[in-house]
Structures are given as C-alpha cells and as structure tokens.
Amino acid sequence: ERMMEIRKLNCNAMTMKVTYYKKPIFIHQGFMQWLWDVDGSRYLDMFAGVATVSLGHCYPKVTKAAQEQLQRLWHTSAIYVHPQIQEYAEKLASHLPDPLKVVYLTNSGSEANDLALLMARLHTGNFDAITLRGSYHGGSPLTMGLTSNTVYKYPVASSSGCFNTMCPDVFRGPWGGSHCRDSPVQTIRECSCSPGQCQANKHYMEQLMEVLNTSVSKRIAGFFAEPIQGLGGTVQYPKNFLKEVYKLVRERGGLCVSDEVQTGFGRTGSHFWGFQAHGVVPDIVTMAKGIANGFPMGAVVTSEEIARPFASGVHFNTFGGNPLACSIASAVLDENCAVVGTHLLMELAKLRDKYEIVGDVRGKGLHIGVEMVKDKVSREPLPVDAMLEIMEDTKDMGVLIGRGGIYGQTFRIQPPMCITKDDADFFLAVFDQALHNYME
C-alpha cells in the first residue's frame, strides 16, 4: 500500500523530469554501494547520486555523526559561532595548501561558484570570467552563465542572440576536448607528444590566446575550470594546459578558480584535489557534492588577502555552515576509502578494444567516462536513443550509471568509493552484456 501511495504521489506531482529511464525507478533505501527500489529490486549504484555519495549510502559513521548532532543543535544561522563550524573549517583548511586557509560554507556547488565569482570581482576590480567549453559550474542564474554546456541553459534570446545568461561577460576558452587534434583516435591521457610539442595543447592555447587578446584580457576577474570536466563528459586536458592557462590569466591580473565540486575529496584517486595533478595552486577552490556524502553543502576556500573585502561587508548565508552540515562533513573528512578505479579503467579499456562503439575510456580514480561513438572511424557520437537503450539494459540487470558529454555520448562511472573489486567486476560484466545486446 505504501508503495502504491508513493507511486501515486510521484505520478500526480510530476515535478521532476525523469531523464534517464523509460520506467522511472522509485528508490526508497540505500546502503553503501547499493540502492533498493520500492519493489525490493537491488541496484549497484555506479553513479552515487552524481558523484556525491562518495563514502556510500547511509555510511554508518556519518549517519552516527548526523544522529548525534540532530539531538544537539541544528541551526543557529551565521550570526552565532558554533564549535562545529570552527572545527570543520580548520579540518578542511588543513587539506589545502597555503595560502588557502579562509573557508566559507554554502549549501551547494552553484552557490560556491557564485561566491567565488563575487570574490574574484571584488578582489580584482574586474568583471569578466573565462570558462572552458564543455564546462559545468552550476545552475543558478549567475553560474548558468559560467556553464558552457548549452544542455543546461534555457533558450531565451538575448540582444546578441545567445543563450540566456544573467552573466553576459563570460568568454569561452577552448573546449578541453577529448582527443589529440593530430590523431583523432588517440586520447590525451595517452598522448605521446613530447613536452611543449603537444599539438592539442598548442591548438587549445592558440584558441585561448585569441580570447585573452581581446578586450577581455584587461578585465578578467576569474578563470574557472574543473580539473577534469564532469558533466562535459569526463574530459581531461592536455598535459600542462591548466598550468599554462593559470600563468596567462595571472599575468593579466585575473584569479584562477578550481571547481572541485566533482573532483575533490579523493574522487580522482591519486590526489585529494583535482588541481594537484596539474601542478597548480588555485587562488580560490570551490567544492560541494562529496563534501558531505549527500547532505546539501558546499564550500569556498581562499586566501586571507582575497577574502579581505568580505571582512568589511556582510556576507550572509542562513543555512551555510550549519551545525548539522558541519558535523556530517567533519565525519566525511575523517574517512579514507579504498579505490578500485585503476582496475575499472583497465578493464573498461578492454571493452573499448572489443566494441566498435566504445570510442574512448578516460578519467582517474573513480571519476571515469566511457565515450560512445557510432564507429571508431567517423567518431560521431552514439545517438542519445542508443545511449538510453544501453542504460535501460544495465538498469534492468541491476546497475545504475550516469551520462554526460556535449552530445550526451559519454557514460559516467562515479560510484561510491566503497565499491569492492567484486562490485566492479559485476558492473563490468553487466556493461559488457549491455554492449553485446546493443550490437546484436
């Protein structure tokens, strides 16, 4: 009866657009890497609520921290200081290099990027932002402007005929791109160009220089980039690309913002933050998603110098940094997770060699993308209908995965980090079978 009630409720309300599955799944329970629907079917969650439930659903130590805090104190607003916020800010800052020691807490990644843009504007006195094609930085009116991926925008004509943004002074640098320009099948991850000779890097830098050499260069407030693009389709940049862009932006007086909403908190395996793999230290770091294992929270961390204008103003956020969020996020930071990402990447690469429609396998740690193509010669994206058919099939076999990319052509594998090698093998077998079924 309860199940019928839930179904009716969801069907009548129709508030959510179900994008992935023909038959929506009504999830009602989760534990670690597993989800159960109202009919009792179990799914291996290989997407973790969009790379968010990083430790696992209802992770016991985090649940315990939440329960204890629920009985102690929920909310004070930013007017009062509470021990949880101080403890958490210190703990979070200890994970970041100098001079990134000032922490602001928000409720989402969009809010964090909104705040980062405001900080960059106040600090530099400039207005413009540069982002990369394929980027996703949020869905608020301001961050929708930073976001390049048009899938997430609304087609309201502006005077320039562009997609609607409330932040018109955003200039797009080149798309990180998924393939070396001079060899369309070679991935950047495997790029064998010698340092300084990478054709992809050269091409992107030339494009970016075009943007930087326009009038925007005199007015750059901030350059925003994800260390690996998430919704853009797990896109990695050529070697040294971010390092060189940071230098160019800084030479022109702009600040560099690393959007770690997806890549932070160990998601990429080898480093705690995505920027570390690029050999850069950003001026501002934004984060959310994995920060509190599914509890709504975000953060911005910067230097004292950049935060200075906020000392004289009133930056107010009613829920940001509330005791409950801080206690949960604190428990998240105390955990360490074993990562089976390398195994997954290696085994997925075998599927790339086996199937004509698997164009590329890329990513790091448990931030993995599988780009699907019509064939390896044309490299045209596999149509969305076909993508959805494969996803439907994996779902019917008990595995949930994600999707992204400019054309929606990349499967995204970003499971809770508690998945075991056996889970990974189960997923690989299911994915292999779904690809086989599609090809038949």
Q: Contact between 259 and ligand PMP (CB under 6 A)?
A: yes
For residues 101 and 115, give the distance between their C-alpha atoms in angstroms, rounded to a whole number: 16
Determine how many CB atoms are found less than 10 A away from the CB of residue 68: 11
The stretches of 74-126 forming alpha helices (DSSP H) are 83-93, 109-124
Q: Which residues contact 292 (CB under 8 A, 6 or more apart)?
A: 325, 328, 329, 332
**Which neighbouring-strand residues pair with 302?**
102, 284
Q: Contact between 288 and ligand PMP (CB under 6 A)?
A: yes
Q: How many residues bind ligand PMP (CB under 6 A)?
A: 16
For residues 340 and 354, give the distance between their C-alpha atoms in angstroms, rounded to a whole number: 22
Helix, strand and coil percent figures for the chain, each rounded to 5: 40, 20, 45
Q: Contact between 410 and ligand PMP (CB under 6 A)?
A: no
- Looking at 125-133, 258-266, 327-335, 375-383, which segment touches ligand PMP (CB under 6 A)? 258-266
Given the complex with ligand PMP, which of 179 and 412 has the nearer CB atom?
412
Given the complex with ligand PMP, which of 113 and 124 has the nearer CB atom?
113
Tokens of 223: 């350059």
Q: Contact between 136 and ligand PMP (CB under 6 A)?
A: yes
- Asked if 56 and 31 touch (Cβ cutoff 8 Å), the reply is yes
Question: What's the min distance (Å) between Cβ of 425 and ligand PMP?
Answer: 28
Per-residue interface string for the shown chain with ligand PMP, residues 151-190, x marking contact by CB under 6 A:
----------------------------------------
Q: Contact between 134 and ligand PMP (CB under 6 A)?
A: no
Q: Contact between 108 and ligand PMP (CB under 6 A)?
A: yes
Q: Contact between 138 and ligand PMP (CB under 6 A)?
A: yes
Nearest to 239, CA basis, from 189, 286, 311: 189
Interacting residues with ligand PMP between 335 and 394 (CB under 6 A): none
- Asked if 232 and 198 touch (Cβ cutoff 8 Å), the reply is no
Question: What's the min distance (Å) between Cβ of 262 and ligand PMP?
Answer: 5
Q: Indicate if the alpha-carbon torsion angle 202, 204, 209, 210 is positive or negative.
A: positive
Q: 106 by DSSP, 3-state: which?
A: strand
Given the complex with ligand PMP, which of 116 and 399 has the nearer CB atom?
116
- Looking at 35-43, 63-71, 135-143, 377-385, which segment touches ligand PMP (CB under 6 A)? 135-143
Given the complex with ligand PMP, which of 292 and 390 has the nearer CB atom?
292
Q: Contact between 403 and ligand PMP (CB under 6 A)?
A: no
Residue type, 358: V
Q: Which residues bind ligand PMP (CB under 6 A)?
A: 50, 108-110, 113, 136-139, 226, 230-231, 259, 261-262, 288
